[in-house]
Amino acid sequence: MASFEVKVYPIFIKDHPNADRLDLGNIGSPEGWQVVIAKGRFQTGDLVAYIGENAVVPDDILKYYGYWNENKDIGMLAGSKGNRVKAIRLRDAFSLGIVLPIVECKEGWYKLPHTPEEQYTGYFKLDEDVSEILGVTKYEPPIPTHMAGEVCNLIGYTLKFDIENYKKYPTLINHGEEVIFTEKIHGCVSPDTNIMLPNGEEIEIEEIISNQNYTHVLSFDIASHQYQSKLITGRSRRENIEKKRWVKLTMENGRTIKITEDHPIFSKDRQEYVEAKDITNGEDIESPF
């Protein structure tokens, strides 16, 4: 899961190829997040506080650092209040956040220019998350009015797939290095569908979701082409499942599974995942049943 934080990094400056009054800055390294800034505002090696996408910035910060529209009395960023950081394109160059200057107030301690010298709670070390000091929070999309009553918060039963941006670790992988790429796949299973446990026992998936004592299920491993015991890493329920389009697959031994049409099924004939709605009669698929 991705962490939300505002930290201090060195900035690396280069000319904007399409604008004389703008510079491009990369955060943390020459391959890090890119931001578009005013020409000459920073030099390579300067330390800046980087505020990335989906951050909500307080009005006082926006006003002090020049991100405020006096005529409209709102911020100059995204959202109805102009206070949300969003990726934008400026003269054909993407800007993936905003940066604030920092100053050293005493040996090993830093602060932002708007922080009074006597406000020691505003001091920080270079490796600290300064989001709380700045009052910067993560943007959480509101539930649309037309969906009221159709969605609910399943805290503790859902798995977040928000992952860290590679640009946070620009030197982690070298050019040409071989890596393994994984992808989150979608789809739902009917609550009354049986799932096989590693010991061969069959349990309805609704029971597995409700009972935290069930920690592993039998899962097909593509690399080894074998069924293995796999740890359950997340549990979730979908509301209004009756509105979903379902597919019922019947095996040659009479077993059935009921899943949404977009649920991926591994086809042994095609040697790839196929959406359930595209499975044909007689097709050989992977199933522990």
Average of per-residue pLDDT across 237-264? 80
Checking if the pLDDT of 159 tops 50, the result is no
Half-sphere exposure of 236 (CA within 13 A, CB side): 16
Residues in a beta bridge with 137 = 56
Beta pairing, strands 7-15 & 47-52: antiparallel
SS3 at position 196: strand
Distance, CA of 169 to CA of 114 (rounded, Å): 29
Domain final residue pick, 96, 111, 138: 138
C-beta pairs of 261-270 under 8 Å, 24+ apart in sequence: 262/186, 262/187, 263/186, 263/187, 263/188, 263/189, 264/185, 264/186, 264/187, 266/220, 266/222
* 112 and 17 co-located in one domain: yes
pLDDT of the residue at 161: 45
> Is 232 in contact with 218 (CB distance < 8 Å)?
no
* 24 and 114 co-located in one domain: yes
Instruction: Flag whether 71 is in a domain.
Output: yes
Mean confidence (pLDDT) of the chain: 82
Instruction: Flag whether 101 is in a domain.
Output: yes
Dihedral sign from CA coordinates of 128, 129, 132, 136: positive
Instruction: Flag whether 185 is in a domain.
Output: no
Task: Select from 6, 105, 1 the least CA-distant residue to 50.
Answer: 6
* 14 and 134 co-located in one domain: yes
91 is written with which tokens?
Answer: 């003269």
> Structure pTM?
0.59
SS (H, E, C) 12-24: EEEECCCCCCEEE
Summarize pLDDT for 113-143 with one digit per residue, the tens.
Answer: 877 666 556 788 888 899 998 899 988 777 6
**Containing domain of residue 57, as a range?**
7-138
Summarize pLDDT for 38-88 with one digit per residue, the tens.
Answer: 999 999 999 999 999 889 999 999 999 999 999 999 999 999 999 999 989
Question: How far is residue 97 CA from its own chain's centroid?
Answer: 15
> Is 289 in contact with 256 (CB distance < 8 Å)?
no
Window from 13-27, 55-69, 107-121, 267-281 with minimum mean pLDDT = 107-121
> Is 6 in contact with 50 (CB distance < 8 Å)?
yes
Window from 33-42, 46-55, 182-191, 202-211 with minimum mean pLDDT = 182-191
SS3 at position 138: strand
Q: How many domains does the chain have?
A: 2
Average of per-residue pLDDT across 149-163? 49
* 17 and 108 co-located in one domain: yes
Distance, CA of 34 to CA of 26 (rounded, Å): 5
